[in-house]
Amino acid sequence: MEIHKPKPMHSLREFLTEIGTIICGILIALGLEQGLEWAHWRHQVEQADKAVSEEVRHNLGYEYERIAVRVCLADRIGELRDRLLQPTGAWKAMPLAVSDPATTGDTLASLAEHTKSNAIPWVYRAPMRPLVNGAWTAAVASGVSLHMPNERAAFFDHIYEQLEQGFATQVLERQAATKLAPLAFDRNLNDAERTQYLSVLGELDQINALRTLIAAQLIENADDGGLRIKASQAAERIKSFRKFPGRAGCVDALKIPLAPG
């Protein structure tokens, strides 16, 4: 194989030309690499934004639902309060004869059947919804969130922070609600016991107000970022909860901006 030896350079100009050619080649290669990397991250960001936005909308359905049932929960607290304030030692059982429609079928018969499976009936039960954050967690773990516009990343971060607050509040609410379990059965109550249960109701009343506030703020903040619950999703939530015996009139269909679909 014939090998051509590099020609000797006879002037500074030839040397600078050769160096310039090499540098231009390197810059072009780096530019192409950066361009490909930019295109890659742009695609990743677009996909992540789409997935996270859809996940936020899904969570907004839970927040909408929570505000919609706030009056029902307040009414139940008031009902229990009034019974506890009656001057008598006898307590007539006040179990809830309903279950969570999100975990049962669509018929009232299936709701009643699901309720029968509880060894200890609920006396007070608010919606307990999961924190759905897989898409955002993946975006953060993969580093995609770092390539989002700063304002957009901060928006999502704040939304999920509020979602975590709402979930934590639900856990406290469920823990407080279990303390009312004895009221699901006929029994005698002394003044100290009545006072104790009234204290629990006071705690639940405060949690209901706080959880409603978190939900309202979350919906408002999401709307500022262009994310709204879909009209069909909102309608389904209202329809589902109005199937509860005794809740048809207290579930509130909120008048908030909704996304089409």
Q: What is the pLDDT of residues 204-242, one digit of tens each?
A: 999 999 999 999 999 999 999 999 988 888 888 888 878
pLDDT computed for residue 209 by the predictor: 96
Coil, strand, or helix at residue 187? strand
The verdict on residue 257 lying in a domain is no
- CA-CA distance, 242 to 11, in Å (whole number)? 90
Estimate the crossing angle of helix 150-178 against helix 12-68, to 10 degrees.
30
The two beta strands, 90-91 and 187-188, are: antiparallel
User: Three-class SS string for 199-241?
Assistant: HHHHHHHHHHHHHHHHHHHHHHHHHHCCCCCEHHHHHHHHHHH
Number of H helices, E strands in the chain: 7, 2
CA dihedral 214, 220, 222, 226 (to 10 degrees): 170
- CA-CA distance, 9 to 206, in Å (whole number)? 86
pLDDT computed for residue 8 by the predictor: 58
The region, left, alpha or beta by phi > 0 then psi within -120 to 50, assigned to residue 226 is left
pLDDT computed for residue 94 by the predictor: 94
The verdict on residue 18 lying in a domain is no
Q: Which helix (H) or strand (E) holds 193?
A: helix 191-224
pLDDT computed for residue 30 by the predictor: 60
Domain count within the chain: 1
How confident is residue 35, by pLDDT bands cut at 50, 70 and 90?
low
- CB distance 56 to 259 below 8 Å: no
The verdict on residue 22 lying in a domain is no
pLDDT computed for residue 105 by the predictor: 42
pLDDT computed for residue 88 by the predictor: 80
How confident is residue 114, by pLDDT bands cut at 50, 70 and 90?
very low
Instruction: State the average pLDDT over residues 73-82.
Output: 96
Per-residue DSSP letter, 28: H
Whole-angstrom CA distances from 236 to 13, 112, 115, 126, 253 are: 77, 20, 21, 18, 11
> Does 107 score more than 50 pLDDT?
no
- CA-CA distance, 173 to 93, in Å (whole number)? 21
The verdict on residue 57 lying in a domain is yes
Instruction: State the average pLDDT over residues 100-115.
Output: 46
The verdict on residue 188 lying in a domain is yes
How confident is residue 39, by pLDDT bands cut at 50, 70 and 90?
low
pLDDT computed for residue 113 by the predictor: 46
How confident is residue 34, by pLDDT bands cut at 50, 70 and 90?
low
pLDDT computed for residue 104 by the predictor: 43
How confident is residue 132, by pLDDT bands cut at 50, 70 and 90?
very high
pLDDT computed for residue 111 by the predictor: 46
List own/partner pairs for 110-118 with CB under 8 A and 24 or more apart: 111/243, 111/244
Instruction: State the average pLDDT over residues 60-70.
Output: 92
| Structural domain span for residue 107 | 44-241
Instruction: State the average pLDDT over residues 128-133.
Output: 90
- CB distance 148 to 205 below 8 Å: no
Q: Which helix (H) or strand (E) holds 170?
A: helix 150-178
> Does 110 score more than 90 pLDDT?
no
Instruction: State the average pLDDT over residues 3-32.
Output: 62
The verdict on residue 34 lying in a domain is no
Q: What is the mean pLDDT of the chain?
A: 83
The verdict on residue 165 lying in a domain is yes
Instruction: State the average pLDDT over residues 48-65.
Output: 93
The verdict on residue 96 lying in a domain is yes
- CA-CA distance, 139 to 51, in Å (whole number)? 9
197 or 230, higher pLDDT? 197
CA dihedral 174, 116, 101, 132 (to 10 degrees): 40
What is the pTM assigned to this prediction?
0.77
> Does 148 score more than 70 pLDDT?
yes
